[in-house]
Amino acid sequence: MKILTFNIQHGGGTRILKILDSILNHNPDTIVLTEFRQNKNAIIIKESLYKKGYIYSCSSSLEQNKNSVFIASRFHFITSLFPLELEQDTHRAIFAQFKNINILGVYFAQKELKINLFNFIIDNFIELSNNNGLIIGDFNTGNFYEDEEHATFSCTSEFNKLKSNGLIDSWRSRNKGIKEFSWYSHAGNGFRIDHTFSTKTINERIKKIYYSHKEREQKISDHSAMIVEVAN
């Protein structure tokens, strides 16, 4: 399965057709969009993807102006949301159970507000995914001096608890010591905030994992896309 995650920046705005063209050029099997909004662009996204064979889709929120997570796939999946566990952060995560893999799409909050979603993942994901899944999306954090040039990230300890809890930063495990950024501030500072964390079984099945920077460089969005290819 080829999985693409992409933060489309506040629902995509007037860039929506370029966003769709860019996504489809990668020809993914499953698409995880963050900062998806249930507005007129949502209709364009769903209809366009459906015509291209992505007949299964679901989003984590129905609110028009709330940044959320959207999953579309050529393959059937069963969706779960977590309103009791995540409460005000329900829109920030969506779980998709496929035949051979389980995917949690995420869009983390800013600063310390990330903690609620991190705690949910740390406490539940291994069991929830039956030790056969990955977490993918915009984490809005990383490690000091490694995933950013300085030391400004919040919740780095929770970020690293994912690893101590049995999950693997799949891109970093293949790119030790490399600095490659998926988002830049207005001041020109780079950050790697779009990630994939996998259980051991899924990490071993990952054939390729990489960023596509043309989306950001061509200002289709302010984020790079991330692509993960997992063997069946």
Give tens-digit pLDDT for 7-21.
999 999 999 999 999
For the chain, the average pLDDT equals: 97
Answer yes or no: pTM beyond 0.75.
yes
At 76 the pLDDT is 98
At 134 the pLDDT is 98
At 8 the pLDDT is 98
Residue 199: pLDDT band with limits 50, 70, 90: very high
Residue 114: pLDDT band with limits 50, 70, 90: very high
* Residue 203 token pair: 């990490």
Residue carrying structure tokens 């963050």: 34
Q: pLDDT tens digits, residue range 57-111?
A: 999 999 988 999 999 999 999 999 999 999 999 999 999 999 999 999 999 999 9
For the chain, list the domains and their CATH numbers: 2-230 (3.60.10.10)
